[in-house]
Structure 1
Amino acid sequence: MSVQPRTDERVFLVVVDESPEMPNALRYACRRAKRTGGRVAMLYVMEPPEGQQWGAVVELMREEARQQAELVVARHADVAVSLTGQPPATYIREGKSRDELIKLLSEDKSISVLVLGSASGVEGPGPLVTAFTGKLGGQLRIPLTIVPGALTEAEIDAIS
């Protein structure tokens, strides 16, 4: 169940996934929301199932992916509640993360800040950070905050 934010609140959107840097982005967003009287929103994007020729199998795969998505979102929503005292708005969608994120930002005008975690490994900052600091950056209508994945909780608390 999703709690929709009020239009006068500052809403910090975090893209929820299983990456090691995502909890840093969530912690930062939660702390900023609490300090500014805002709210956290979370977007989880499921990959579409492959194998379109087997309709029943694809539907089963989609249902299992949805159940997994709901578990992941619920786990992170609990963290958001513990840090902010209020439930986050949640969105679960199917498609490509980048495309669904752009769609959500155009649909929900209450979202005021996008918060992404940046990977600290040699493979680069991650696909969304790379996309939105590059060619797709011009499609954002809101500020983008990038939280380094290597920060400790104490360091995040100090800057948020």
Structure 2
Amino acid sequence: MGYSDQTPDGEKRVKLIERRGLNRHNNVVDAYNIAGAEYGIGLGMHDVAQLDGNIVIERASGGEEMVPLFRESHREAREGDLIYGTDDHVLWLSGQIGRDADDFRVTTDTDKALLMAVGNEETSEEYNRSVCRRAFDLISKTCSNASIEFLDVEKPVVNA
């Protein structure tokens, strides 16, 4: 992330579970928390039934806003933070904090979700997909009609 004192999101998740145990929410959220902890990677999961457009991962220009999970006030991205979302909505912010957006929280009423594994230069696309497959395997144990579809990842063209 470029912050020397930053603990990676996946490591934070593992340490939190080691300290307090798994904070239970529902079978779907619990599954992605377990998979993220097993692989030591940060995951985001969002109810996307009402979203349109492409999901874009980018560095924040600064000032992008979202209300993080379980919070009431918005947080603002700093220049250089990593964010993803659509043209209209920030779904996830990773900088000094790493949080999903509360507006797209997965609940028992969710019927379409996006599970996102944001890796780094040390993780391959296949590794990131394997984390998602693990979460899906756990989800499908209690949701027999669940299905999984991987979206194509387009890497930006960098002009040299």
TM-score in terms of structure 2 length: 0.30
Larger helix proportion, structure 1 or 2? Answer: 1
TM-score in terms of structure 1 length: 0.30
**Structure with higher RCO (Cα < 8 A, 6+ apart):** 1
